[in-house]
Structures are given as structure tokens and as C-alpha cells.
Amino acid sequence: MTARLISVSPSKPEAAAIKDAAAALEAGQLVAFPTETVYGLGADARSDKAVAKIFASKGRPSFNPLIIHGASLEQLEKYADFNDMARELALHFWPGPLTLVLPRKEDSGISLLASAGLPALALRVPSHPVAQALLRKSGLPVAAPSANKSGHISATTPQHVLDELGDKIDVVLGAGRCTVGLESTIIDLTTPTPTLLRPGGVPREPIERITGKLALTASKAARPNSPGQLESHYAPNAAVRLNATHVEADEALLAFGPDMGMKGGVARMNLSPNGDLHEAAANLFSMLHELDKSGARAIAVMPIPEEGLGLAINDRLTRAAAPRPEA
């Protein structure tokens, strides 16, 4: 695959070009687009499949949660609970380079893979006219990490994006260089004291005028350069047993590939009957969630090959299977 470059004017993007890019997003394709901070690698945030493509193309070794981009505060209020402080921050700094981490609404419709199974969503309204036009035209929540390979520096020009990901994504909406050039500031409002998870495009001082003194991150969850160090991923209530070759009577089975001969258990789902890792990644969090509801004592997971997206899937499963802290 070679990405289709759609070049637009940064300040007045042509309507036909935006319509074209929005249609690609709606069709579940990957569309890199400019924001004021860096280029984002966007996909329909409601679709597990589209979001799985993001992780596959970036070569992330684990599933880092993604920022959900929207056209307006009004739109994003559909997906997460905004308290008074969140609303005040949004009114001051959106559209702009500030990301807010807020409790996800039960019926948000956002892919669990997009937030890596976390009960919180990171939300942002970018100010770049091209990002605004695209988000408005599609009306979609758009999950987008920075448009670079995992571990590489963020892309700030269409050429960076093409060099990094040109053979792995569908469309690059190109509009010159990003003005801020540095990712958004991330504030977590789900902690007792608002916490600065990542310094970025909005300085700390004007934020603290609204929040009071910010706590500095204790969690590694939002350190962009520490893939695989997320601590607070969704853990099912049930225990998780890896590399299962049989199912106990009180277990649920999470199969991968053909599961002939695996009899019994209280519930079963298959990440990908054909052994497709991409499909498995798309299904991972929603199936864990579903099987957890069966009330099984444990979820027995068949072996997943340690290649491609299998690395990220196994990373996540190993975490879910790790001994839990005493309650």
C-alpha cells in the first residue's frame, strides 16, 4: 500500500479534499492529518478494527491508550463525564493543545481498544483549521496517536509522515508544517488532585490558575517514551490463565485460531478463528469484557504467536494475568 497524499491549504482547506478524507475515515481507513501540535494518525474511534490498524501500522509493542479527537466540547461531552473543572479548562483552552483525561461514559460507544481498556478517556479538540474541518465533516470521534513509528520522533510535516508510515496507511492529508511542533499537555482529572501526565503545548502556569497546583505524574501511563509500562490497564475480575490447552468447568475460554477439542467451560469466544492477529487485536478488550460478565472464575487464553500485533496482545494478556495486589 502507498498512502494517497491529499494536499490542502493549511488555513482554508478545500471542501472536496476534506470530504474525501472524511469518507476514508468513515470507511475505516487510516488518515494522517495535521493538528497544531503534530500530525495525528487518525481512525474512527468507535471501530475496534480501525483502531487495531493504528497499532499495527505504528508497530507499538503494547497497546498505549489513544487520544480521542473531536470537533467541539459539545461533541466530546457525549463520550466522557465533564465536571466543572473539566468544563472550565475546555472553555479556556479548546480548541488547542490540551488533552483532558476524564471518566468514560458507559455508553460512549468508543472502542475499548482505543483506551486500552482503561475506564478513562483522553480527549482533545485540536485548533488546526484542517483538523477542525475534518472532524466537523465526519462528525466522528477520531482516535489518533502521533503519526510516527513507535519510539521515533513525532511527525510535523507531510513528508515525515510519508517517510515513517507511507507504506502502511491509506491517506495523508497534507497541509505543511505544524505550528506548535510539540504534543499536547495532558491533564488527568480522574485523580483526587488534577495531575500533569505530560507537559506539552499549553504551559503549566495558566492551567494551574484554574486547577490549583497540579500533582506531577506518579503513573507512567502517559509517558510517551515508555511503551509497555502502563500500570492501570483494564484488568478483568476473573483471573487470567495463559497458554491454555484445555478449559476447566468454571473457566471461560478465549480462543485463538481453531479451537477443536477444547470442550467445556462456562462461556467461550474466539479472538480470530482464522488466526488473524489484526482481528484478534481488534477483539481483545471487548471479548475480555464480555467473558468477564459470564462470572467465570478464570479466563483461559489459548497461546497467541509472538509476532506482529501478537507482541502487543501478549503484553496486555501477561499484565492481565499478573498477580493482583491484595485488595
Residues binding Mg ion (CB under 5 A): 146, 224
315 contacts ligand TXA (rule: CB under 6 A): no
d(CA 198, CA 326): 30
Q: In the numeric block, which cell numbers belong to residue 307?
A: 509476532
Main-chain phi, psi angles of 156, to 5 degrees: -120, 5
158 contacts ligand TXA (rule: CB under 6 A): no
> Min. distance of Cβ 165 from ligand TXA in angstroms?
13
Q: Amino acid letter at 318?
A: T
d(CA 256, CA 95): 42
Nearest to 288 by CA among 256, 323, 327: 256
Residue 44 binds: one of Mg ion, ligand TXA, none (C-beta under 5 to 8 A by kind):
none
Nearest to 144 by CA among 231, 62, 234, 70: 70
> Min. distance of Cβ 160 from Mg ion in angstroms?
13
> Min. distance of Cβ 115 from ligand TXA in angstroms?
5
| Strands of the 251-255 sheet, one edge to the other | 239-241, 298-301, 251-255, 267-270
> Min. distance of Cβ 79 from Mg ion in angstroms?
21
Applying CB under 6 A, among 120, 130, 161, 298 the residue interacting with ligand TXA is 120
Applying CB under 6 A, among 113, 197, 238, 282 the residue interacting with ligand TXA is 197
**Residue 200 or 265 with smaller CB distance to ligand TXA:** 200
Q: In the numeric block, which cell numbers belong to residue 260?
A: 477443536
Q: Give yes or no for a contact between 252 and 291, defined as CB atoms under 8 angstroms apart.
A: yes
221 contacts ligand TXA (rule: CB under 6 A): yes
Residue 169 binds: one of ligand TXA, Mg ion, none (C-beta under 5 to 8 A by kind):
none
Strands 31-34 and 171-174: parallel
Partner residues linked to 188 by β-bridges: 101, 195
- Of 170-189, binders to ligand TXA (CB under 6 A) are 183-184, 186
> Min. distance of Cβ 244 from ligand TXA in angstroms?
29
**Residue 54 or 254 with smaller CB distance to ligand TXA:** 54
Strands 239-241 and 298-301: parallel
Give the residues lining the site for ligand TXA (CB under 6 A). Answer: 35, 37-38, 40, 64-67, 97, 99, 101, 115, 118, 120-122, 124, 144-146, 183-184, 186, 197, 221-222, 224
